[in-house]
Amino acid sequence: MSRADLLDLVAADAALSRLSNTVRGRLDDDPGHDLAHALRVALWTVVIGEPLGVDPREAVAAALMHDIVNLPKDSPERHLASERSEAVVRAELPAYGFAEDAVDRVAVAVRDHSFSRGAVPQTALGRSLQDADRLEALGALGLFRCVSTGTRMGARYFADDDPFARERPLDDRAFSVDHFYAKLLGLPATMLTDVGRAEAVRRAAFLEMTLAQLASELGETLP
């Protein structure tokens, strides 16, 4: 499926189109958690879920609503965001014509997708959504999101005197490059589907190339 195919699917479905417009109005201007992000996650949830028998309509609905409650990365309640999003799904998705069992599948997937919550989804939809969302933290998109999130939190790109944390503890709140080692490069091992894992490995390789290029530009060697 291409991005154009996804947009056609949403446009052709009155409920999904209306839901997309609702989500657009409720997400903030954070480029890592806006409607464009939700649609990218929708695309990969459909792609990953197809061999698992996931309903594309439910995949799109889950992706559109997975960040409907989005708390800042440094919020002490960050781990509760997906549960609050689940509550929104259960309260509001029936109004878009989704049957009770579909609402439950979407709600459970939204609840369990979050990295900060630490849950392992038990459904095909949940596993597809979690893998699709984690793909956003890898590759070129992952690089953009890492830097933009770090900037919002007041982080520097890297520690000037020890950019690759050879002689200091990792601190990804203070340095964006540290986040590569603290989280991003470990994501492929957490993927739950074959399609998601293969794509994650491909995107992680891009991040590793980025680190190698940075080291070269700084006159450093990678640890």
- Per-residue CA distances from 209 to 15, 78, 139, 180 (Å): 42, 31, 10, 12
Q: Is the pTM of this model over 0.85?
A: yes
Write the DSSP string, 195-221: HHHHHHHHHHHHHHHHHHHHHHHHT--
Given 71, 102, 131, the domain boundary residue is: 131
Domain shared by 126 and 183, yes or no: no
Please tell me the predicted confidence (pLDDT) of residue 113.
80
Structure confidence at residue 26 (pLDDT): 84
Asked if residue 71 is part of any domain, the answer here is yes
From 112, 131, 150, give the residue that closes a domain: 131
* Cα gap 191→104, rounded to integer Å: 23
Structure tokens at 33: 């958690």
Range of the domain at 188: 139-218
Residue 223 lies in a domain: no
Last residue of a domain, one of 92, 113, 131: 131
Nearest alpha-carbon partner for 111 in 129, 97, 138 = 129
Do 18 and 125 reside in the same domain of the chain? Answer: yes
List helix spans (H) across the chain.
Answer: 3-12, 14-26, 35-49, 56-65, 81-92, 100-112, 124-135, 139-152, 176-182, 194-218
Walk along the chain (223 residues) and give the pLDDT tens digit of each residue: 899 999 999 999 999 999 999 999 888 777 778 899 999 999 999 999 999 999 999 999 999 999 888 765 655 556 677 788 899 899 999 999 999 999 999 999 999 887 666 778 999 999 999 999 999 999 999 999 999 989 888 999 999 999 999 999 999 999 999 999 999 999 999 999 999 999 999 999 999 999 999 999 999 989 8
Give me the number of domains the chain comprises.
2
Residue 63's nearest CA partner among 27, 30, 29, 116 is 27
Answer yes or no: is 26 within a domain: yes
Residues 58 and 87 in one domain: yes
Residue 101 is predicted with a pLDDT of 94
State residue 187's pLDDT score: 96
